[in-house]
């Protein structure tokens, strides 16, 4: 990659990165993949960052926080509490959310992104804004990569890295041709730290080539009801051009991901130790800052490019409820707080 292209991708986020370097940014930026995604909230962290800590938010029903590994993900289809209910094909969303400020929608948070949607585990739309606008999805589409790989299974299968897998920047793990990793190791890295080279490796392993895998992505998207999406690569970068999705479609993808036990576990992981083929290790910190600050958050996936802005699919579970929030095209560093506010609104907090 030329220095000019790298500067174009990274320039808008340089201030946040420089601020982060003064504290934990060195560990986050260089201890994991080289990423242009924001690495921290711009407000002081909340006291209860882990599900096992005392809840930092209202809990009127007196139910303990539910988070990664803490039990039910709420109802995604069927009766409340269902975890692995049969997945409908395609997934459908329904309902008309009450307008902001109406008596039936008290406390609806302000959202500044170009498009957004909030749905519950039954597919009911609780809030939407330009939810059907065609917009770039950036790395949030790696959740579709993860779904294809997880559904194929055999995650202990070894994957030998090929040279074309490394043709992706700037967010890379630094894997090299000839190195061997398991699908499970690569799947953790692509979902937790959003590494573009690993997305290409998983795609080639799945379908034989990047082009064939893109066809698999589009077919899978259609099968779960993502009828307003089109993808041209596995990693979410703007080249080849022409790919897009919508907040509504990505909410369906988020619901499909939550129904998969493998993706639920990985997307809720805050950090992961990746072992390179030469024996060295690197600690990967999840790029989803809501996961680190909101104890009820259960995932899911971040994304950032110049064209897409800041994008986020987030999910949370508490008090027998599950909600999925999608934000696309945010230009505000408050994307994390706004997403958290949507999740809390959906959970009735």
Residues with active-site annotation: 139, 142, 194
Alpha-carbon distance values, 325 to 9, 251, 253 (Å): 26, 7, 11
Contact between residue 316 and residue 297 where contact means Cβ atoms under 8 Å apart: yes
Q: In degrees, to the nearest 5, what angle opens at C-alpha 182 toward C-alphas 178 and 187?
A: 110
Contact between residue 329 and residue 269 where contact means Cβ atoms under 8 Å apart: no
Distance CA 312, CA 193 (A): 14
Indicate the burial class of 213 (C-beta count within 10 angstroms; 0-12, 13-18, 19 or more).
buried
* Main-chain dihedrals φ then ψ at residue 86, nearest 5 degrees: -55, 135
Contacts of 153 (CB under 8 A, 6+ apart): none
Contacts of 334 (CB under 8 A, 6+ apart): 42, 112
Length of the chain in terms of residues written = 349
Distance CA 345, CA 110 (A): 11
Distance CA 243, CA 317 (A): 31
Residue that is written with structure tokens 């039954």 in the block? 122
First-to-last C-alpha distance (Å) of the chain? 46
């Amino acid at each position: 990659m030329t220095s000019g292209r790298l500067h174009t991708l990274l320039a808008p986020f340089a201030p946040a990165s420089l601020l982060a370097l003064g504290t934990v940014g060195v560990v986050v930026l260089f201890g994991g993949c080289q990423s242009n995604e924001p690495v921290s909230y711009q407000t002081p962290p909340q006291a209860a960052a882990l599900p096992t800590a005392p809840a930092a938010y209202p809990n009127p029903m007196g139910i303990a926080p539910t988070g990664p590994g803490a039990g039910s993900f709420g109802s995604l289809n069927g009766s409340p509490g269902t975890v692995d209910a049969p997945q409908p094909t395609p997934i459908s969303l329904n309902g008309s959310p009450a307008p902001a400020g109406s008596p039936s929608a008290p406390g609806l948070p302000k959202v500044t992104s170009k498009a957004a949607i909030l749905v519950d585990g039954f597919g009911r739309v609780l809030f939407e804004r330009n939810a059907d606008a065609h917009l770039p999805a950036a790395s949030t589409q790696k959740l579709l990569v993860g779904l294809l790989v997880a559904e194929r299974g055999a995650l202990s299968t070894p994957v030998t890295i090929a040279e074309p897998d490394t043709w992706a920047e700037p967010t890379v793990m630094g894997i090299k041709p000839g190195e061997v990793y398991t699908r499970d190791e690569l799947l953790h890295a692509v979902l937790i730290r959003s590494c573009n080279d690993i997305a290409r490796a998983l795609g080639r392993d799945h379908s034989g080539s990047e082009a064939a895998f893109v066809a698999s992505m589009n077919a899978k998207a259609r099968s779960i009801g993502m009828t307003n999406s089109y993808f041209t690569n596995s990693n979410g970068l703007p080249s080849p051009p022409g790919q897009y999705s919508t907040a509504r479609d990505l909410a369906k993808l988020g619901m499909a991901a939550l129904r998969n036990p493998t993706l639920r576990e990985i997307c809720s992981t805050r950090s992961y130790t990746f072992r390179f083929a030469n024996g060295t290790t690197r600690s990967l910190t999840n790029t989803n800052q809501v996961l680190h600050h909101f104890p009820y958050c259960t995932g899911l996936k971040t994304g950032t490019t110049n064209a897409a802005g800041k994008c986020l699919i987030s999910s949370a579970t508490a008090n027998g409820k599950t909600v999925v929030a999608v934000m696309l095209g945010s230009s505000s560093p408050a994307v994390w707080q706004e997403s958290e506010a949507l999740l809390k609104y959906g959970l009735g907090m």
